[in-house]
Structures are given as structure tokens and as C-alpha cells.
């Protein structure tokens, strides 16, 4: 501690030496920053913003090319003196995990912050601050973000928005009074703008300041919500409505004004700290003003200018968020690189797998872009730019979303390790979630970007119209504009960026230039077509904003990478690679977004999305029955399930056993349609059965209504009363046969119960799912009669919890590489088990374990001995079985997750499960059999998220109307509903097929698990975004759902592995078909039928007509959607065949391609499921039929689009080259164990 503070003191001394010496002018940046947010009319002409001019079709490169040199050598040396002390502060003084756990910061840590001067970085030296420029501060913020985002906000809320108002708008007296307190006086500042009813609509604040009759003070009344640092601040930059007289008309009206309010003023108080998802050490509180007297001299800026002040404070500070998150992303990349270079799976290091290389490359590239934007905006501000507001907004949107992507992918790469608190990644993810909401919600900023730019473009069009009235006097403008338009329309001329970039980036510059021309032409056409009405076209405005963001990011990385080459930086080659792949990806996104803006299909599509959203808002999708506990629930359950069990057994006896593979997806891989498991939508339940299921839903819903998920999470599990109720109701043995005391619930009924528990608590869903879906499922599927009679009654109603024990510290997803070993005794009576299992759900509570271990097995044919996995039923009472403490996880805290140890455990030979050496098969089939349940469970979670979002959207008023009326909110709600509908459709389809006796469902089950787990993550995340700050608070319940959902993409088969499983299993099936065809050609006369059938099919594929026809399977309103699905199937099948012919067995190593094929397969199955289900609804005339048709149509449009893109990426040479580039980037990252480039200021 002393050593670190000593370094801080040295840095501060250097600061004073430099500021008062010859470096004063180059080290302080406050004058430039003040100019940046208080422009004069002369400074505003001409506007130098690249993005702003982009909307008008003008290329303004002054703030883009060349990349700004953010710091002079003197400035670099000055800030360098602070870097080592700052790093040591975060490594030796600050404890991020402790701050997060206690939601506080120790006094010694706060003192160290003050001692180093870190809380006054922007404040000039004459007021005691460091006087850093924006670019200098970025470097320090990167360091803080790389260690602790909570602390970054703790300090950042004070040093940027907390003090900036006084720094930028304060009078000399205000600065002299307050800035010394805020820089060295150990007084915190806070920014108090948001109110309970305003959110992003800052102009609608209701807090009011009334000037006293004596004119000496204002009386302030109102409250502010979610004030970062509000609990520790003593000075608040506060905004309130004041009565202002219009000087031209004399009319009085309310306008917002800004005030400096001290906590010591009578009537100022704060509420308790908010309980939040993340940034917990930042004390977020509500602030109350009750007749608070604020002296008139504490008015900040001019009366009535509060909105301008608030916006400019936020604009001038937004780049700082990107700086923090750039540091966070760097750490995430480093942690991921370290893991994949050391972790061995399937006998290879993870970094050798192409799908891992792609993830790493894209993570590093997103970080590179974010860092590039941050330093570019900061550098331009330091040069005196006054036109940075759009670029700052672009930077904030991009950096917050890029960091979310990067951290999420790092967790996925680390698997279960990433979900544990010890990794630090889950804390980063929780912390960064708020960054997409505060200081301008990203959805609002997108509208700000699009509308501000379009407003500028509209003015330019009016100038041209005026010029045409006097052509002789305005010939220059007319000719320039006409030439530009002709160049765009005929596809020649237009924008040319090649002179700004190095030779290796010429193609990338052309991609950016083409994007610029497409964008500018689109803006003009939208203005001509819609005029002022464009404001209401939010579906299109969102695409405009995303295109602008992509174009600016392309320009920025082209500029920075060119600089790296020109300066001969060691990272130049890596920067070139990242710039190239980014421009390729971004230009493709721009093209897609522009096409969607113009496409008539997508105009209709957006109209459908809007209607879906309106239906949701009216119906409040996801509403559940609220009732009281009913003691008769167990009787209802048993009555229903026993009756249904009898019906199911009768069906099973009369059902013919299939002789061929009837999997819909397996057959699609070989270009054939097998409709049996998709069309028509399975319905094995009769009306009376459905009625009984309805009667079952009510009592189970009542049970969950009395259950408290928050309490269960805090306690680390359900209480004894909850467990007892679940045993008594039969919920712990839903699928066990009646003869063993179970409910004999079929898969369809299990899926419905999963929906109910998924809506209530995913943590509890894991408790009872891990127990019965995988815990004792092996005994049910593979147990002998003796094993079933002995163990199933115990786990169904005997109070014995079961667990599935497969994963080990070194195995992860590679189940075949487990090291636990069971050695058979000499007399063959028992096995001796030694080893350990990690991340076992229920591991600390379970007394019955399905355990997998290596055993020595003799091959009956060769007599050779080798190791093979065997499954065992292990009782804790055997002795030698112990467990570690519960794991500290990101979510599902209600589920006890622990490591299990086996030390010389004696297992009776009769406890072998499924036969010696068959353990791998047993494990896979247990997992396959249970995966469908995740779709039902997560469909319930999604429905609840949609309910909360719809409830908020229909009651929340922003900008004068309910937010349900905004196009961007409608699009979110519609997509959320569609994802839930697809997941639910998949889950029930698979369950119905399983109940019908089909056994070829493994590909479909894997697809449903991948889709549902990713859909739930998306839906819950979007629900939080719709609720804004409310969603980030624990009281909403959404942040808990998001934390719980995250593990579903990892456990029971990580999604990345399951994607490869889907593709490779399907390709293996398709490959066997090609071999059949090859054999047929050896004896053509005897196999003419097969040859002609195959030849005809290939002919129609290659000629582009005929092909797959699904129209006979669907209702009339869905014929066009069925054609889209059929088109996807034909493209997919043709691609599979082409890749098999090209690569043969080598396709296994083409993982860039395999992932695209998997995503295409998922989309095709999703389309097929919703077409089938919506058709069923139409034919049965269900009340929801029209709504379901809308969702099915909308889904098929987008899914077909994705399939086309993925198929193209699997075959197009440009993208294949791009994958090679990603591979090279990833290898460079792993060689460096992190990002390769330094920051643009050239400092470590």
C-alpha cells in the first residue's frame, strides 16, 4: 500500500512540475474541451463530422484521415508517469471481487484514489487536478476497465459527468469554490438527471425549481433516480424545470435549468443503495429534494439552458465508456487466449479448432475497432473538434455492444470455468450490462444518430432546391451535386478512399467506399419518399443507424491500420488482417441493411412485426394463472398421469417399429424430405387429455406462486418445505413408471411442467431437472429390473436426490477422455473407483450418483484389453464419496453445484449400468433424451420475460407517448415473441415424437437445445433493454433470469460442440448415401431406380426449378413461407453435397464451414416447426391462429435470409479467404496470450 501511494505521489509531483513548467500548454486540455462543447456559430461552419457529412453524401475526412496522433511526446511522457501507479493500485490495493461481494469500497482504497489524483483527471492544475487531455485519460480508463468496471464507474461517475458540468459551464467563482473540493478535497460529485417517469426522455423531467420572491434562491422539489455515486456524493449537478420568459414574445414557459446542489443544503437527502445486477460497488441511489434552497449563484450556465448542458456533458463523456470497455475487452481476450492455448479437448489444444480461432479473431477485432473509435474521438476532441457528437454516440453504441459480445464469447470459450465467479468474467458481464442503458440508451442513440444525420441531409437537399431556382448563380453547387448523383446511379466514380490508405488496404477501402455510396443514395431516396414522415419509420431508421455505425468503424480501422503500416509498428501486419476482415464483414452488413430498407418484402415484413407486437401488447403474452395453494394438487396429478400412462402404453403396444431413419434433419442432409416427424404437427393427446393437462397446470402454478426464487437464491437452495412439497406432489418423479411410485408423465406433459418451472425459477428448474432428467434417467433407460426396483422408488418419493457425474477437471465437453478409473476386483464381485467429478448439479446433496469411469475391457473378437468408459450406480453410503463446497456461480445459485471425490469407493458389480464398456453410449443417450426438456423450460422463461416487457411497454410513457408505439420497441417485442414461439414449437414437436415412439430425434433435440438456450439469452437481454434501468435492478427479476440462463449454453453439451455434432452426424448420414450411389453405379442395371431418382433430383437443383415442395403440408396463408423454407432446403442440400465431394473426410477439419451448415440446419428446422404448428392452428381455427401465422411468416423471411448468407459463406471464395485471415489473427493472439497491438498512443 505504501509503495503504491508513494508512486502516486511521485506522479502528482511530476504533474505539478510539468504544468507549471514548459509543458503547460501541451499537458492540459480543459480549454480545448470547453471549446468542444460550447461552440460559437463561426466554429460550427463548416461541420467537420465524418458521420454527419456522410448523411449528405459528402466525404469529409478531416477527422478521419489520417488517424489523429492523440499525444505529443511530452504528453505521452507525462501520462506515462501515472500508468505504473495505476496498475499497481488495481493489482495491490483495489479488490474487485470484494467490492462486488460487499457492494462497497473500503476507505483505504478510496483514500488511495484521492492520493493519486485519479478523481480529478480533467480538472486543471490550478484547481488541484491532473489537467489530463481526453486521450491521456483514455489510457488510464483502459487500465481501470481491464480490472474492475465497478470501480471504473465509482470513479468515472464523479470525474466525468459528476464534475464536467462545473468544468464546462461554471463561472469563475463556481470553479474556484467547487473544483478544488472535487479534485483533492475528498468531495464526490454526481450527475442528477434521470427521474422515475422520464428515463431517456430527459426533457420531460418534473423536478421543479421556483425562484423565491426575494430573488436570492430557488426552491427545489422533486427526485432523481439511479444516481451513480448518489450515496457518497456531496455535490450534485441537478436539472429541474424553471419558469422562463421568452424575450421575443413575453410568454412564460417551463424550460430545464441546471444547478449545483450541495448535500448540505436543507431538504436534500438520498435513499438506500439500489440492489443491482452489476457495478455493485458504485453506490446508486435515489436523490430527494424537499423545499431545498439553492442560491441563485448556484445556477449552472444560463437559466433555461439545462437540456443543452445535460446533453453536452453526456456527449463529452461518452468516449470514456468506450475507454473503460476497451480495457475490459482486452482482459477478456487475454483470459480466453490463455485458456484455449492450454486446454486440451479431443486430444488437441482448443486453439487448433477453427471455430475457436474464429471466436478469438472476432473478439480481438471487436476490441481493435472499439479502441480505435475511442482514441479517434478523444484525439479529435483534443484537437479542438466541436463536431464529434455523432461519432461519440457511435462509439458508445458500438463499444457497449462489442464488449458484451466479447465477454460473452470469452465465457463460452472457458465453458463452466467462465460461469464461475473465480474467472472474473461473469462479473465483467454483469457490470457491463448497464453500459448499453445509461448515458443514453443504445436504442435512443441509434435514433439520435439517424435523425440528426437525416436532418442535416434534409437541409442540404433544401439548399439544392433553392439553387435550382437560380441555376446561373449556383452552377457550382448544381454541377457538383449532379456529378455525384450520376456517379452513384451508373455505378462509376463515386467515393474513392484509396488515396488515404496503404496498398494492402485498397480492396478494403473500396468496400468502405461502396458502402458510403449505397448509404448516401439511400438517405436521399428516403428523404424524397418520406420527407418529415421519416421520423416515424423507426424500422428503417434503425438500419440507417447500423449502417452509419459500420461505415464509421470501417473508416476508422482503415485509418489506424494505415498509420500502423506507415509508422512501421510491430503490430502492423495484425492490424492489416483485422482491418481487412472487419471491412469485409461490415460492408456485407451495410449491404444487407440497405437492402432491407428498400425491399418491399421487408417493408411487409416490418408491418408483420409491428402487428405481432401490437398483439402481444394487447394480450400480454405469457400471462399465467395466479391462484392459491391447493392441497388437492397431488391427487389431480396422480389421477391425470396414471390415466395418461395407460393410454400411452396402449398406443405403444399397437405402434409398428420404424425400420428406417425417420429423422427429418438427418434426411435433409442427404437431400430428402421425411415429413413423418414434422408434418403434421404431432398431437398425441385427445381433447380430454388436454383438458386434464389444463387441470394439472393450475395446481402446479399455485405451488410456484407461493415459492420465493429470490430467497432460494440467497439461501443457496430451496428450503425444506419446498423440497417436501415437490416430493409430495410427485414433481421429483414425473416420468418414473407408476409401478415404482412415479407419475408416468409422458414427454409432452414433462415439457408443459418445464414451462411452468422455467417461468418461476430457472435455478429450481435445474434442481429438479438435474435430479430426474439426467440424475436417475440412466436407471430408467438402462437399469435392470432389480436396479429399477431398488433405486427408482428412492428417487421418486423416498427423499433421495440423484446426480449425473460425468464432467471432470480435464475433460469438459470431451466425455471420452475422463480419467476417473474403476478397477474390477480379482473375484469380480466389485469395482474400486478413484477420481473426481467437477460442476455436478446437486453434487452436495445427492445420495445416488450415476458415475462414469474408465474400466479395462477385453475385446471379445481380438482378446486385446483396452480402456472403455463404463457407467455405475454409486450410493454415497458406499463410503469414500465426499464433495467440496458449493461453487460460487454467476447464476442458478439455487442449485447446489459441487465437486465430487471418489477415494477407493467399492461398487458392487451388479451396479454396473448398461453393460461394461458401454458408458459413453449410456451418457450420450441420457443427455439426448433429456435435451428436449430445455426447450420447454426456457420457453416458459421467455414467456415470462415477454410478459414483463409488454407490461412495461404498455404503461411506460416516453417523448409524449407509450413506448409500445415506437417501431424499435415493436420490433424487439415481435422478435422476442417469435423466438419464444420457435423454441416452444421445437420442444413440443420433439416431445410429441418421442411420445409417439420415434427414436431418431437426437439431431432435433440437439438443435432445440442450441436454439432455445440462445433464444432465451436474446429474449431476456432484450427485455432488460426495454425496461432500461428497471431491468438492471434486482427487483425486476430479469437480471436473475439472465444470470441463470447463461449456463444453458454450456451444460449438457456446449452449444459449439452441439453445432459440430449436428453437422457431422448429418454429413456422416449424407456421406453414407453418396457411398450407396457409388456402389449403385458399379451395377447400374440392377440399381436404375436409385440412379434415376438421384439424377432427377440433381438436375432440378442445378437448373433452379422444381426441387422441394412443402406447399401440400401447410395452410394456404403459409404457402409463400413454405416456398422460402423449401428454397433453404434445396440450397442447403446442394451445399452439403458439394462440400462432401470437395473435401471428403477432410470436411471434419473445416469447422468454419461446419458452423455455417449447423446454423443453416437450425434455421431450416425452426422454419419447418413453425410452419407445421401454425398450419395446425389455422386448420383447428384456434384463437391465436392469425397471430401464429404472422410470426411464422416473419420468421421464415428472416431465417431464409440467414440460410442464404450462411450457404454463401460456406462456398464463396471471398469468405473462405476471410476464414484464413481469422485463423492467422487467432494464432497471433495466442502467441502473444492476448491482443497484439498496443494502444494508439503507443504506451504499455
Q: Note the pLDDT tens digit of each residue in 1112-1143.
A: 999 999 999 999 999 999 999 999 988 988 88
In this structure, what DSSP letter does residue 90 have? Answer: I
Q: How many angstroms separate the CA atoms of 1215 and 1224, rounded?
A: 14
Mean pLDDT, to the nearest integer, of 1134-1155? 89
- The pLDDT score that the predictor gives to residue 607 is 86
Task: Categorize the per-residue pLDDT at 816 as very low, low, confident or very high, splitting at 50, 70 and 90.
Answer: confident
Q: How many angstroms separate the CA atoms of 900 and 1103, rounded?
A: 60
Instruction: Assign 1162 to helix, strand or coil.
Output: helix
- The pLDDT score that the predictor gives to residue 202 is 75
Q: How many angstroms separate the CA atoms of 1016 and 939, rounded?
A: 7
Within a domain: residue 1072? yes
Which of 475-489, 563-577, 844-858 has the lowest average pLDDT? 475-489
pTM here? Answer: 0.91
Which positions are annotated as active-site residues? Answer: 1052
- Cell numbers linked to 79: 501520462
Most confident of 345-349, 456-460, 496-500: 496-500
Q: Which residues, including other chains, have CB under 8 Å from residue 128's CB and lie 6 or more apart?
A: 120, 179, 180, 183, 184, 185
Task: For Cα atoms 200, 202, 203, give the angle at the middle one, nearest 5 degrees.
Answer: 135
CA 727 to chain centre: 36
Task: Categorize the per-residue pLDDT at 22 as very low, low, confident or very high, splitting at 50, 70 and 90.
Answer: very low
- The pLDDT score that the predictor gives to residue 961 is 87
Q: How many angstroms separate the CA atoms of 543 and 541, rounded?
A: 5
Does residue 269 share a domain with residue 152? yes
Within a domain: residue 1244? no
Does residue 1025 share a domain with residue 912? no
Most confident of 281-285, 748-752, 1088-1092: 281-285
Name the average pLDDT for the chain: 87
Which of 29-38, 119-128, 210-219, 387-396 has the lowest average pLDDT? 29-38
Assess whether pLDDT exceeds 80 at residue 691.
no
- The pLDDT score that the predictor gives to residue 641 is 42
Assess whether pLDDT exceeds 70 at residue 150.
yes
- The pLDDT score that the predictor gives to residue 477 is 52
Assess whether pLDDT exceeds 60 at residue 632.
no
Within a domain: residue 338? no
Q: How many angstroms separate the CA atoms of 804 and 800, rounded?
A: 14
Assess whether pLDDT exceeds 50 at residue 626.
no
Does residue 267 share a domain with residue 124? yes
Q: Which residues, including other chains, have CB under 8 Å from residue 344's CB and lie 6 or more apart?
A: 350, 810
- The pLDDT score that the predictor gives to residue 1089 is 54
Task: For Cα atoms 952, 954, 956, give the angle at the middle one, nearest 5 degrees.
Answer: 60
Question: Which residue among 553, 581, 600 closes a domain?
Answer: 600
Q: How many angstroms separate the CA atoms of 766 and 1079, rounded?
A: 49
* Residue 47 · residue 62 · CB < 8 Å: no
Instruction: Assign 680 to helix, strand or coil.
Output: coil
- The pLDDT score that the predictor gives to residue 1204 is 96
Mean pLDDT, to the nearest integer, of 854-878? 92
Q: How many angstroms separate the CA atoms of 1219 and 1207, rounded?
A: 14
Task: For Cα atoms 127, 130, 133, give the angle at the middle one, nearest 5 degrees.
Answer: 115
DSSP per residue, 717-748: S--HHHHHHHHHHTTTSTTS-GGGT-----HH
CATH number at residue 187: 1.10.540.10
Q: What value does the CA radius of gyration of the chain take, rounded to a whole number of Å?
A: 32
Q: Give per-residue pLDDT as tens, 66-120.
A: 999 878 888 888 988 999 999 999 999 999 999 999 999 999 999 999 998 889 9
Q: Which helix (H) or strand (E) holds 209?
A: strand 208-211
Assess whether pLDDT exceeds 70 at residue 687.
yes
Does residue 181 share a domain with residue 103? yes
Within a domain: residue 1068? yes
Within a domain: residue 463? no
Domain assignment of residue 587, given as a range: 486-600
Q: Which residues, including other chains, have CB under 8 Å from residue 473's CB and lie 6 or more apart?
A: none
Does residue 1060 share a domain with residue 1046? no
* Residue 701 · residue 759 · CB < 8 Å: no
Q: Which residues, including other chains, have CB under 8 Å from residue 679's CB and lie 6 or more apart?
A: 1110, 1113, 1114, 1168, 1172, 1175
DSSP per residue, 859-915: -TTT--EEEEEEEEEEEGGGSSEEE-PPP-BSS-TTS-EEEEEEEEEEEEGGGEESS
Q: Give the residue from 897, 895, 894 showing the smallest Cα distance to 843.
A: 897
Task: Categorize the per-residue pLDDT at 473 as very low, low, confident or very high, splitting at 50, 70 and 90.
Answer: low
Assess whether pLDDT exceeds 70 at residue 960.
yes
Assess whether pLDDT exceeds 80 at residue 908.
yes
* Structural domain count of the chain: 5
Does residue 63 share a domain with residue 103? yes
Does residue 1093 share a domain with residue 1022? no
Assess whether pLDDT exceeds 80 at residue 493.
no
CA 823 to chain centre: 45
Task: Categorize the per-residue pLDDT at 902 as very low, low, confident or very high, splitting at 50, 70 and 90.
Answer: very high
Q: Give the residue from 601, 612, 602, 603 showing the smallest Cα distance to 1189.
A: 612
Does residue 592 share a domain with residue 701? no
Residues paired with residue 849 on neighbouring β-strands, in sequence order: 803, 874
Does residue 966 share a domain with residue 918? no
Q: What percent of the chain has pLDDT over 70?
A: 86
- The pLDDT score that the predictor gives to residue 465 is 55
Within a domain: residue 347? no
Q: Give per-residue pLDDT as tens, 422-444.
A: 999 999 999 999 999 988 899 99
Q: Give per-residue pLDDT as tens, 581-595.
A: 999 999 999 999 999
Does residue 824 share a domain with residue 724? yes
Question: Which residue among 869, 898, 931 closes a domain?
Answer: 931
Does residue 1005 share a domain with residue 949? yes
Question: Which residue among 568, 600, 632 closes a domain?
Answer: 600
Does residue 204 share a domain with residue 214? yes
Q: How many angstroms separate the CA atoms of 278 and 100, rounded?
A: 8
Within a domain: residue 788? yes
CATH number at residue 492: 1.20.140.10
CATH number at residue 887: 2.40.110.10
Within a domain: residue 1145? yes
- The pLDDT score that the predictor gives to residue 440 is 87
Amino acid at each position: 500500500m505504501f509503495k503504491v501511494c508513494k508512486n502516486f505521489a511521485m506522479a502528482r509531483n511530476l504533474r505539478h512540475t510539468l504544468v507549471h513548467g514548459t509543458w503547460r500548454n501541451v499537458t492540459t486540455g480543459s480549454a480545448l474541451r470547453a471549446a468542444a462543447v460550447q461552440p460559437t456559430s463561426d466554429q460550427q461552419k463548416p461541420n467537420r463530422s465524418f458521420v454527419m457529412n456522410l448523411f449528405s453524401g459528402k466525404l469529409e475526412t478531416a477527422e478521419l484521415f489520417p488517424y489523429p496522433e492523440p499525444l505529443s511526446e511530452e504528453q505521452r511522457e507525462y501520462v506515462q508517469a501515472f500508468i505504473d501507479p495505476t496498475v499497481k493500485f488495481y493489482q495491490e490495493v483495489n479488490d474487485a471481487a470484494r467490492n462486488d461481494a460487499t457492494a462497497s469500497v473500503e476507505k483505504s482504497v478510496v483514500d488511495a484514489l484521492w492520493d493519486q489524483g485519479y478523481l480529478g483527471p480533467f480538472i486543471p492544475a490550478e484547481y488541484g487536478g491532473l489537467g489530463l487531455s481526453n486521450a491521456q485519460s483514455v489510457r488510464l480508463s483502459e487500465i481501470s476497465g481491464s480490472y474492475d468496471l465497478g470501480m471504473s464507474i465509482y470513479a468515472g461517475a464523479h470525474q466525468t459527468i459528476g464534475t464536467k458540468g462545473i468544468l464546462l459551464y461554471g463561472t469563475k467563482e463556481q470553479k474556484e469554490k467547487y473544483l478544488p473540493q472535487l479534485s483533492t478535497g475528498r468531495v464526490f460529485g454526481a450527475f442528477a438527471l434521470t427521474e422515475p417517469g422520464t428515463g431517456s426522455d430527459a426533457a420531460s423531467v418534473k423536478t421543479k425549481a421556483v425562484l423565491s420572491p426575494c430573488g436570492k434562491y430557488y426552491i427545489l422539489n422533486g427526485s432523481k433516480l439511479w444516481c451513480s455515486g448518489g450515496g457518497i456524493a456531496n455535490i450534485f449537478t441537478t436539472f429541474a424545470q424553471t419558469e422562463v420568459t421568452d424575450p421575443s414574445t413575453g410568454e412564460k414557459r417551463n424550460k430545464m435549468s441546471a444547478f449545483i446542489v450541495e448535500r448540505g443544503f436543507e431538504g436534500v437527502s438520498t435513499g438506500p443503495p439500489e440492489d443491482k445486477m452489476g457495478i455493485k460497488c458504485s453506490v446508486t441511489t435515489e436523490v430527494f429534494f424537499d423545499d431545498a434552497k439553492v442560491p441563485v449563484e448556484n445556477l449552472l450556465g444560463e437559466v433555461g439552458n439545462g437540456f443543452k448542458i445535460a446533453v453536452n456533458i453526456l456527449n463529452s463523456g461518452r468516449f470514456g465508456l468506450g475507454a473503460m470497455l476497451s480495457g475490459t475487452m482486452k482482459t477478456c481476450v487475454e483470459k480466453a487466449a490463455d485458456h484455449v492455448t492450454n486446454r486440451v479437448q479431443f486430444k488437441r489444444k482448443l486453439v487448433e479448432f477453427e471455430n475457436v480461432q474464429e471466436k478469438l479473431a472476432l473478439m480481438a477485432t471487436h476490441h481493435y475497432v472499439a479502441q480505435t473509435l475511442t482514441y479517434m474521438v478523444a484525439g479529435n476532441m483534443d484537437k479542438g473538434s466541436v463536431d464529434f457528437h455523432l461519432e461519440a454516440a457511435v462509439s458508445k453504441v458500438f463499444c457497449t455492444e462489442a464488449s458484451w459480445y466479447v465477454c460473452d464469447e470469452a465465457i463460452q470459450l472457458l465453458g463452466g470455468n467462465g460461469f464461475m465467479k473465480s474467472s472474473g468474467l461473469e462479473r465483467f458481464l454483469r457490470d457491463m450490462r448497464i453500459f448499453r442503458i445509461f448515458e443514453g440508451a443504445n436504442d435512443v442513440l441509434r435514433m439520435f444518430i439517424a435523425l440528426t444525420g437525416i436532418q442535416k441531409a434534409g437541409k442540404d437537399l433544401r439548399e439544392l432546391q433553392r439553387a435550382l431556382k437560380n441555376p446561373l448563380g449556383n452552377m457550382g453547387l448544381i454541377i457538383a451535386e449532379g456529378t455525384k448523383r450520376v456517379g452513384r446511379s451508373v455505378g462509376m466514380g463515386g467515393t474513392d478512399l484509396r488515396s488515404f490508405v496503404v496498398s494492402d488496404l485498397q480492396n478494403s477501402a473500396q468496400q468502405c467506399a461502396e458502402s458510403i455510396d449505397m448509404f448516401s443514395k439511400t438517405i436521399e431516396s428516403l428523404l424524397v419518399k418520406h420527407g418529415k414522415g421519416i421520423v416515424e419509420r423507426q424500422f428503417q431508421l434503425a438500419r440507417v443507424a447500423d449502417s452509419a455505425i459500420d461505415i464509421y468503424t470501417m473508416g476508422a480501422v482503415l485509418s489506424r491500420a494505415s498509420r500502423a503500416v506507415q509508422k512501421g509498428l510491430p503490430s502492423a501486419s495484425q492490424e492489416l488482417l483485422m482491418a481487412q476482415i472487419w471491412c469485409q464483414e461490415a460492408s456485407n452488413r451495410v449491404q444487407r441493411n440497405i437492402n432491407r430498407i428498400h425491399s418491399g418484402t421487408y417493408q411487409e415484413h416490418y408491418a408483420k412485426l409491428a402487428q405481432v407486437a401490437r398483439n402481444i401488447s394487447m394480450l400480454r403474452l405469457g400471462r399465467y394463472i395466479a391462484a392459491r395453494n391447493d392441497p388437492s394438487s397431488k391427487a389431480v396429478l396422480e389421477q391425470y398421469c396414471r390415466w395418461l400412462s395407460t393410454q400411452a402404453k396402449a398406443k405403444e403396444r399397437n405402434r409398428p417399429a420404424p425400420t428406417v431413419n425417420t429423422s427429418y434433419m438427418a434426411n435433409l442432409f442427404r437431400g430428402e424430405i421425411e415429413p413423418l416427424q414434422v408434418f403434421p404437427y404431432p398431437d398425441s393427446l385427445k381433447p380430454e387429455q388436454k383438458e386434464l393437462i389444463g387441470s394439472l397446470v393450475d395446481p402446479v402454478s399455485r405451488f410456484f406462486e407461493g415459492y420465493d426464487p429470490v430467497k432460494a437464491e440467497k439461501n443457496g437452495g430451496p428450503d425444506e418445505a419446498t423440497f417436501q412439497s415437490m416430493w409430495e406432489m410427485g414433481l421429483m418423479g414425473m416420468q418414473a413408471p407408476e409401478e415404482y411410485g412415479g407419475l408416468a408423465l409422458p414427454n409432452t406433459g414433462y415439457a408443459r411442467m418445464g414451462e411452468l418451472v422455467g417461468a418461476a425459477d430457472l435455478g429450481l428448474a435445474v434442481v429438479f431437472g438435474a435430479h430426474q432428467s439426467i440424475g436417475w434417467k440412466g436407471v430408467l433407460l438402462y437399469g435392470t429390473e432389480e436396479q429399477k426396483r431398488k433405486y427408482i422408488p428412492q428417487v421418486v418419493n423416498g427423499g433421495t436426490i440423484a446426480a449425473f457425474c460425468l464432467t471432470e477437471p480435464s475433460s469438459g465437453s470431451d466425455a471420452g477422455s475422463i480419467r476417473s478409473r474403476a478397477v474390477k476386483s480379482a473375484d469380480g464381485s466389485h469395482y474400486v473407483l478413484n477420481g473426481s467429478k467437477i460442476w455436478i448439479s446437486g453434487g452436495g446433496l445427492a445420495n445416488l450418483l450415476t458415475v462414469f469411469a474408465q474400466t479395462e475391457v477385453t475385446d471379445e473378437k481380438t482378446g486385446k484389453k483396452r480402456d472403455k468408459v463404463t457407467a455405475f450406480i454409486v450410493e454415497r453410503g458406499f463410503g469414500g464419496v465426499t464433495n467440496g463446497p458449493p461453487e460460487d456461480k454467476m447464476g442458478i445459485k439455487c442449485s447446489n453445484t459441487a465437486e465430487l471425490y471418489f477415494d477407493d469407493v467399492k461398487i458392487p458389480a451388479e451396479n454396473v449400468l448398461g453393460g461394461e464398456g458401454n458408458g459413453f453410449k449410456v451418457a450420450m443417450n441420457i443427455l439426448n433424451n433429456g435435451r428436449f426438456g430445455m426447450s420447454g423450460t426456457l420457453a416458459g422463461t421467455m414467456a415470462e420475460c415477454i410478459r414483463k416487457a409488454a407490461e412495461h411497454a404498455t404503461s411506460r410513457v416516453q417523448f409524449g407517448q407509450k413506448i409500445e408505439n415506437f417501431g424499435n420497441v415493436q420490433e424487439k417485442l415481435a422478435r422476442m415473441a417469435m423466438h419464444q414461439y420457435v423454441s416452444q414449437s421445437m420442444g413440443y414437436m420433439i416431445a410429441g415424437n418421442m411420445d409417439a415412439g420415434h427414436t431418431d430425434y437426437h439431431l432435433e433435440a440437439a438443435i432445440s437445445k442450441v436454439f432455445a438456450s440462445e433464444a432465451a439469452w436474446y429474449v431476456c437481454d432484450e427485455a432488460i433493454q426495454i425496461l432500461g434501468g428497471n431491468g438492471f435492478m434486482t427487483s425486476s427479476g430479469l437480471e436473475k433470469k439472465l444470470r441463470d440462463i447463461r449456463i444453458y449454453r454450456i451444460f449438457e453439451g456446449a452449444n459449439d460442440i452441439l453445432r459440430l455434432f449436428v453437422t457431422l452426424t448429418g454429413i456422416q448420414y449424407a456421406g453414407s448415401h453418396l457411398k450407396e450411389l457409388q456402389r449403385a453405379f458399379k451395377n447400374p442395371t440392377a440399381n436404375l431406380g436409385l440412379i434415376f431418382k438421384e439424377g432427377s433430383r440433381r438436375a432440378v437443383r442445378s437448373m433452379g426449378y422444381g426441387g422441394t415442395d412443402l406447399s401440400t403440408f401447410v395452410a394456404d396463408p403459409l404457402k409463400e413461407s413454405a416456398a422460402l423454407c423449401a428454397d433453404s432446403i434445396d440450397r442447403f442440400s446442394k451445399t452439403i453435397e458439394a462440400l462432401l465431394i470437395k473435401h471428403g473426410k477432410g470436411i471434419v477439419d473445416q469447422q468454419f464451414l461446419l458452423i455455417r451448415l449447423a446454423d443453416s440446419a437450425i434455421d431450416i428446422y425452426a422454419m419447418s416447426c413453425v410452419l407445421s404448428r401454425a398450419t395446425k392452428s389455422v386448420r383447428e381455427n384456434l384463437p391465436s391462429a392469425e397471430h401464429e401465422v404472422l410470426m411464422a411468416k416473419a420468421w421464415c423471411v428472416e431465417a431464409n435470409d440467414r440460410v442464404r448468407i450462411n450457404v454463401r459463406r460456406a462456398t464463396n471464395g471471398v469468405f473462405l479467404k476471410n476464414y484464413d485471415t481469422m485463423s492467422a489473427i487467432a494464432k497471433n493472439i495466442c502467441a502473444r496470450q492476448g491482443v497484439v497491438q498496443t494502444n494508439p498512443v503507443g504506451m504499455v
